[in-house]
Structure 1
Amino acid sequence: MQEVKLRETDDFIKLGQALKKAGLEESGADAKEDIQAGLVKVNGEVDTRRGRKLVDGDIVSYNGQEFKVVK
């Protein structure tokens, strides 16, 4: 499973930013569309909030791929 690392000074990353950082979305606009369309799951549940704060241990699923947020 791929990992998305938080910066040392951060306690969270927003869902849209995490999708881009993981390389699963090209732009914030693409991420916003797919999140609002219900295509993204956080910890097994659909989340339609682009600004959802992801913390250490959260698992995101999108388009058959998964990544874990790590500190």
Structure 2
Amino acid sequence: MQRIEFPLEGEYVELNQLLKLAGLCDSGGAGKQIVASGAVTVDGDVELRKTCKIRAGQLVRVADVEIHVVAR
């Protein structure tokens, strides 16, 4: 499993933007499609809200990639 540590700037990042910024897709629109497909979990639960606010300390998983969101 690939592990990405994402340093959060600010209070939160929207889930679709996180997928883009982490390099898992090319655009926020593509990130929305990935979320809508049910392929994304946040802290172990499937997340279907495309603009869900992701904060430091949360774990996002897509396929075999884990994104650990950490405070900057």
Same fold (TM over 0.5): yes
Segments of structure 2 that go 5 or more residues without pairing to the other structure are none
- How many residues are paired up? 69
Superposed CA RMSD: 0.9
Q: 1:43 deviation in Å?
A: 0.5
Greater strand share, structure number: 2
Q: TM-score, normalised by structure 1?
A: 0.90
Structure 1 unmatched ranges of 5 or more:
none
- Match for 2:4: what amino acid? Q
Cα offset, 1:2, TM superposition: 1.2
Per-residue CA deviation, residues 2-47 of structure 1 (Å, 9 max, x unaligned), is 111111xx11111011111111111111111110110100001100
Q: TM-score, normalised by structure 2?
A: 0.89
Q: 2:4: which partner in 1?
A: 2
Q: Distance in 1 between matches of 2:6 and 2:28?
A: 16
Partner Cα distance (1:11, 1:4) in 2: 13
